[in-house]
Structure 1
Amino acid sequence: MTHKSQGTAARPKLDDEAFEAFMRARRPVSPIWTMSGLDGYLTALIIGPKFIDPLEWIPELTGSEALDMPMETTAHQAVQTIVAEYNRISASLAETPEDHRPRFSRIDDRTFDAMDWHVSFLMGTGFSQKQWRPVIRGHAITGDIIAPIRKLSEATGPATQSDAAAVAEALVKIRSYFMPKRAKQQF
C-alpha cells in the first residue's frame, strides 16, 4: 500500500486516542470512529475478493482533502495511521496468520467489545458485495467459514479470547478462499 515516492522514512502518525478524536470530530461524520472499527474495516478490505484502491476508501474515512494535506497536519497523520494499520494487518495475516487476532475494544483483561470491529468489517465487505456473497451467506464450497464473525452479532455478552481466536481462524480461511481471485486481478 505504500508508494515508492514515500521513501523509507517513517511518516508521522497519530496514537490511538488522537486518531479516534480526529475521526469523531470529522465532518461529515466518518463511518469509522475507533481503532477497533478501523481494524475490522481494513481486515475486510485486505482479505476480500479483490484489491480496492485506497483512493476509493480512504477519503470516506478521512475526507478527500486529507490525502493532500501537509505532513504536519492531523489529517495527514490520520491517513498515515490508516496506512500503517493496513500494512500491519496485511503483514500479520500473511506472515504469522496463526498469531493474528482482531483488534476488539478491550473491556478488561479477559473480555472485549467486538461490536465496532464487527460492524466495520461488514462495511468493508460493501466494496465487492457480490463477490463476498458466497462467504457471507454460506455456500457449498465455502461452507460457513464466516460463522465466528456472525456469532459476534448474536452475542448477548462480551467477546472472549476464545471468540477472538475463532474469528482470527475464520479470517485466515476467508483470506485463503479469496487469494486465488486476488492473484488473478488485473490492474
Structure 2
Amino acid sequence: MAADWLVSPDDKELEELDQFLRAHSGDEDLLLDGVHGFLTALAIGPAPAKPEEWLPEILHEPFADTGEGERVLTLLARLNDAIAPELETGTYEPILGELDVEEGPPAFTARGWCEGFSRGIDLRAPVWEGRLGHDSELMELLGPIIALAIDDGVFESDAAFPPLGDEDYDECLSQIPGAVAAVAEYWRDHPLSADERNAPAPEGGAMPPRRRSGRWVH
C-alpha cells in the first residue's frame, strides 16, 4: 500500500486534478504545471514543508463536496510524495503547459512550472536568498530553470538576456530534470547551518509569494 502511495497520478488522474484546479482558480492561482513546480521546489529545497504549509498556496476555498475534497487531497499528496522517489530513480519529468501553434503538435512551455517553482522558493526565501548570495554553485545548478523563467517573463533580471530560440528553449526544457536532481543533491550535501536554521523570518512574517514578473534575487 505504501508503494502505491508513492506512485504519481497517471494521465487520467492528472487530467482530473487539472480540471479541478482550472474550475477553482483565479488569475493568480497555480494550475497543474505550476503546482508541480511548486511542490518540486519544496521537495528538493533546504527544509521540508508540511501539507498545512503548502496546501493553502494551492487550494483557496472550501470543498463543496466532501468526497471530491478527499479525492483532490489524495491526488495532491500522491503528486507531492512521488517527487523524491522519481528523482532517486531518474524518472522525474516536469509537468509542462502546452501552447497551440498554427502547424504541427502543441509546443511545451515552462512558464507555469517556473512560476510554481519560484513560489516554492518563496516559502523558504531567507534561506534560498542567503545561500544564493554567497554560493555561485547553486546559481549555476539552477541555470536552465532561471533561463526559462527569464525568457517566459516569470523573473526579471538586471542583466540583458537575448530571447531563447526554439532549439535553446527546448534544450533548457530537457535539462530541467537534471537541474532539479542536482539541486536536490546540493541541499543534501550542503545542509543548513545552525545560523541558517535560526535565521529570522522577514518582518511581518513569511515572505508572500511573488507573482509573475517577480525578481530573481541573487
**TM tier relative to shorter chain:** 0.7 to 0.9
| 1:96 counterpart = 2:89 | yes
Unaligned runs of at least 5 residues, structure 2: 152-162, 198-218
| 1:167 counterpart = 2:176 | yes
Higher-Rg member (1/2): 2
Of 126-135 and 77-86, deviating more is 126-135
Of 17-26 and 75-84, deviating more is 17-26
Q: Which residue of 1 aligns with 2:59?
A: 62
CA deviation string 1:88-146 (max 9, x = no partner):
212101x213x422222245768411100011100111111011125655724535211
Percent identity over the alignment?
A: 21
Cα–Cα, structure 1 residues 172 and 25, in superposed 2: closer, same or farther, change >3 Å?
same
Once the two structures are superposed, the pairs formed by residues 103-182 of structure 1 within 5 Å of their partners are 103-107=95-99, 111-133=107-129, 139-155=135-151, 156=163, 159-160=169-170, 162-180=171-189, 181=191
CA deviation string 1:37-64 (max 9, x = no partner):
1210110010010011111111331247
Q: Across the two proteins, how many residue pairs are aligned to each other?
A: 169
Amino acid in the other structure paired with 1:81: L
Higher percent of residues as helix: 1
Amino acid in the other structure paired with 1:166: Q
Question: In the TM superposition, what is the alpha-carbon distance from 1:84 to its structure 2 partner?
Answer: 1.0
Question: In the TM superposition, what is the alpha-carbon distance from 1:10 to its structure 2 partner?
Answer: 6.5
Q: Which residue of 2 aligns with 1:3?
A: none
Amino acid in the other structure paired with 1:152: L
| 1:31 counterpart = 2:29 | yes
Task: Provide the TM-score with structure 2 as the length reference.
Answer: 0.64
Question: In the TM superposition, what is the alpha-carbon distance from 1:86 to its structure 2 partner?
Answer: 0.8
CA distance in 2, matches of 1:17, 1:176: 31
